[in-house]
Amino acid sequence: MTVLATPYIAEVEASVEQLVYVRDDEYTVARMSSDALPSFVASGRPLAGAQPGETLRLAGEWDDHPRHGSRLVVRRCERIVPSTVRAITLYLGSGLIRGIGPRLAHAIVSHFGERTLTVVDTEPDRLREVVNIGAARQAQIVQAWAEQKAVADLMVVLQGFGISPLLAAKIYQVYGNDSREVLTRDPYRMIGQVRGIAFRTADRIALRSGVPEHSPQRIKAAVVDRLETAAARDGHCFLPLPALLAATASLVEQDEEAVRRAVDALAAERGLVVETSPTGPGHAVYAKEHHGREVALAGHLTRLWRARSTLPLRAFAEDEGLHEDQRMAVNLVLTSTLSILTGGPGCGKSHTVRVIAATVRAMGGTVTLTAPTGKAAKRLSELTGLPAMTVHRMLAQQPEPEEGTLFQQSPTEADLIVVDEASMLDLQLATRLTAAIPSGSHLLLVGDSDQLPSIGPGSVLADLLRVEEVPRVRLTHVFRQAQDSGIVRAAHRIRTGELPALPGRGGFWFEELDDPEQVADRVVHLATEAIPRKQNVGSDRVQVLCPMRKGATGTVELGRRLQERLNPAREGTPEHWSGPSVFRVGDRVMPIRNNYDKGVFNGETATVTAVNPQDRLVEIRTGDGETVAYSFDELDELTHSYAISVHRSQGSEYPFVVAPIVAEAGGVMLRRGLLYTLVTRAKAWVVLVGQREALELAVHRLGHRRNTGLALRLTLNLDR
């Protein structure tokens, strides 16, 4: 240890043994070691991005921590090349260099000693002097070494710009050897291409690199960012021109005239589309891809609506077991090539779909049942007794066209295609779906229009319900068996803007607590102990749903607490930290991005089955029983599912649901559609814990209407 000029500042060179804790704001706690200090704890935000095996030069103050003992509070952190045999062995065996595990690391360092890294860097052919290293393994090690050096170099550059070093691996994953040039010469290019980099991050780099504040390039990037943010955060397909000008001008602190010139330039370059607003006076500005999809979707829906049916018969034999509105729905689907079936819980949507499917099959027709998520598809299959698949898998099973025929025995060729949980269809998925369905097939969209809209931009189901020409039936009769459910009763009261009977009964319960910390404690206790014990079920049968992401009762903090309670760290068991998330065998996770190469899709449920530091892989098993591998650099495509947002729960049903209801940060997410969706995710019991005023706020506050033009486009098409 070297004491610097300031008496309270110490400088230490040490290796990272283990990450203990990483917070959302990048505050990191790590267990360190060196030849002089066998074991100590260091903490602080400068440690952000540190990985086990790295050697760091740390400067900070020592203090005594009640849990960790002697601790170095880090003020400055610098990554350095390990130089001692011990540090080099730890570095190579940590998993930082893919293809080298602890045993091989020991063999390499035993052979080359303190010159090991010099040999790897400048004489890589000599690695084959070590037993068990052939040409293939040597090439793997050399490539991994080059990648690690490049990422470490990017970390230094990012820290120089005051940017999180955690972004380095993501940038390298996208741009490879061009990463440094893109980062320093064209940082705006990273917006939308690198997860975690939006305009403010790219702009900070650009301004510090000398880009003028009034640069047209800068203002164009800000315009695109405002459109993308509106789509990702609020689900808008377009922004009214005045709103876009004002938002962009505020972001870049420039006048609106300069922004208008940037919008005109982007439109001339065909990067965006400016047209008469479909929802009011003035102009609307679309990102090019959203405009193209909206126009295409309206066209495909029009084609399906006008097509002649392929069904061999259209007569329907009366079924005395159906309510009048259910019989109306069956007849409608058999006679209309495009139709909608909607209604709340307990109104018989699933039974109606079962009768429709059975009738079409009895007529000699074919049926494909599908839903946006795996859980929704599985539930549809269980309720109807027929096979069902996700929309993504249905589209993936389309064969290549042969002999001039568009479809060859594809699920999309069926006489009837039923899409359940249609409120989840965003603009992109709906466009792909309708494009794949041949003219003459019947498309039935089934969903609850009072639920939350899709995660992605658009409000497809709601838009179609605004078009009078689109045939639809809304089921309103609540059947007797459903009337006894407290969940169904509460849901229907919420839908009409009424507060459910409190504290509740028969499957719905509200427990009033005011303090968010106490609410969080109670939610964790209910999910991990009280409900599993009382209901004699495993904790995996209880799902925590959160209206918010941040705060004591948000998905991040509650998810962390639930993970520590249900799947804590175990001595000798590998784990891997990716940002503020730690992955362990047994963790409940879900993909948050569609990955067609891996065959996994947003919202599927999965369990971590392996964490392999040597190959830098995490393996998961999906609900379909498929094993899928993610590299450590791809883990931002996964999220833990101990506590998830209500939006991510769409299409799923859980035996028991526990949810915090508090007005943290103003309760901006507490809206009627969110509460209604939350309550209807539970099958047996839903327990809400929190503030009565927050519950009342959620019941009475309506959500915003998304900016979309689909309803108008479709209306104009159908009127022609």
Q: Is cis: bond before 278, omega within 30 of 0?
A: no
Distance, in Å, from the CA atom of 25 to the CA atom of 195, rounded to the nearest integer, reads: 17
- pLDDT of 524 strictly over 60: yes
- What is the chain's alpha carbon radius of gyration, rounded to the nearest angstrom? 28
Residue 4 pLDDT greater than 60, yes or no: no
65 has which bridge partners? 69
Q: For residue 77, say whether it is annotated as part of any ligand binding site.
A: no
Distance CA 25, CA 44 (A): 10
The per-residue pLDDT for range 637-672, each reduced to its tens digit, is 999 999 999 999 988 889 999 999 999 866 778 999
Binding site annotation covers 350? Answer: yes
Q: What angle do CA 657, 662, 667 make, to 5 degrees?
A: 115
**Cβ of 427: how many Cβ atoms within 10 Å?**
26
Output the pLDDT for position 5: 44
Nearest to 548 by CA among 540, 539, 558, 561: 558
**Measuring CA to CA, how many Å separate 235 from each of 231, 278, 427, 503?**
4, 16, 10, 34
Binning pLDDT at 50, 70 and 90, where does residue 407 land?
Answer: very low
DSSP state at residue 206: H
| Beta sheet of 367-371, edge-to-edge order | 388-390, 367-371, 416-419, 442-447, 338-343, 472-475
Smallest CA-to-CA distance from 660 within 538, 532, 533, 561 is with: 561
DSSP letters spanning 309-378: P--S-------TTS-HHHHHHHHHHHH-SEEEEEE-TTS-HHHHHHHHHHHHHHTT--EEEEESSHHHHH
What end-to-end distance do the CA atoms of the chain give, in Å? 82
The predicted-structure confidence for 239-252, as pLDDT tens digits, reads as follows: 999 999 999 999 99
Task: Check residue 362 and give its pLDDT.
Answer: 87
Q: Is the dihedral of CA 36, 41, 44, 46 positive or negative?
A: positive
In whole angstroms, give the CA distance from residue 58 to residue 408: 64
At 460, is the secondary structure helix, strand, or coil?
A: helix
**How does DSSP assign 428-452, residue by residue?**
HHHHHHHHHSPTT-EEEEEE-TTS-
- 477's torsion region: left (phi>0), alpha (psi -120 to 50) or beta? beta
Work out the pLDDT band at 10, boundaries 50, 70, 90: confident
For the residues of 56-102, what is the DSSP string, one character each?
EEEEEEEEEETTTEEEEEEEEEEEE---SHHHHHHHHHTTSSTT--H
Count CB-CB contacts under 10 A for residue 217. Answer: 13
User: Which run of H or E residues covers position 200?
Assistant: helix 199-208
Question: Within its chain, how far is the Cα of 481 from the centroid?
Answer: 36
Q: Are 377 and 371 in contact (CB under 8 A)?
A: yes
For the chain, what's the residue count?
720
pLDDT tens digits along 328-362: 999 999 999 999 999 988 888 988 999 999 999 88
pLDDT level of residue 318 (50, 70, 90 thresholds)? low
CA 375 to chain centre: 16
Contact assessment for residue 532 and residue 539, using Cβ atoms and an 8 Å cutoff: yes
Q: Is the pLDDT of residue 397 over 90?
A: no
CA distance linking residue 119 with residue 647, whole number of Å: 52
pLDDT of residue 478: 82
- 349 marked as part of a ligand binding site: yes
Q: Tell me whether strands 416-419 and 442-447 are parallel, antiparallel or unpaired.
A: parallel
| Contact criterion met (CB below 8 Å) for 660 and 523 | yes
Q: Tell me which residue of 293, 267, 276 sits closest to 240, measured CA to CA.
A: 276
Contact in structure between 695 and 688 (CB atoms under 8 Å): yes
Task: Find out whether 586 and 562 touch, Cβ atoms under 8 Å.
Answer: no
* Partner residues linked to 641 by β-bridges: none
Q: Give me the mean pLDDT over the 114-135 stretch.
A: 91
How many of the other CB atoms lie within 10 Å of CB of 211?
Answer: 19
What is the token pair recorded at 256? 């609106």
| Longest alpha-carbon distance in the chain | 93
* DSSP secondary structure letters along 91-145: HHHTTSSTT--HHHHHHHHHHHGGGHHHHHHH-GGGGGGSTT--HHHHHHHHHHH
Phi, psi of 415 (to 5 degrees): -65, -30
Question: How high is the pLDDT of residue 602?
Answer: 77
| Percent of the chain with pLDDT strictly greater than 90 | 68
**Helix or strand run (H / E) with residue 275:** strand 272-276
Q: Which two tokens stand for residue 520?
A: 């969080």
Which pLDDT value is given to residue 400? 45
Instruction: Give pLDDT tens digits for 25-67.
Output: 889 999 999 888 888 999 999 999 899 999 999 999 999 888 8
659 - beta bridge partners? 688
Counting Cα atoms < 13 Å in the Cβ hemisphere of 311 gives 25
B/e letters for 221-240, b = 16+ CB within 10 Å, e = fewer, are bbbbbbbbbbbeeebbbbbb
Is residue 319 over pLDDT 80?
Answer: no
- The amino acid sitting at 396 is A
**pLDDT at residue 317, as a whole number:** 55
**What does the pLDDT read at residue 386?**
86
Region 585-593 average pLDDT: 93
Distance CA 361, CA 163 (A): 59
The whole-number pLDDT of residue 703 equals 84
pLDDT of 533: 96
347 is in an annotated binding site: yes
92, 156, 235 from 95: Cα distances, Å: 7, 21, 40
Residue 455 in tokens: 């995660």
CA dihedral 9, 15, 20, 25 (to 10 degrees): 60
Please name the amino acid found at residue 263.
Answer: V
Cβ neighbours for 116, distance < 8 A, ≥ 6 positions apart = 88, 92, 108, 109
pLDDT category of residue 618 using cuts at 50, 70 and 90: very high
Per-residue CA distances from 514 to 136, 518, 519 (Å): 61, 8, 7
Greater model confidence, 484 or 663 = 663
Q: Which two tokens stand for residue 288?
A: 């090019």
- Averaged pLDDT, 73-90: 91
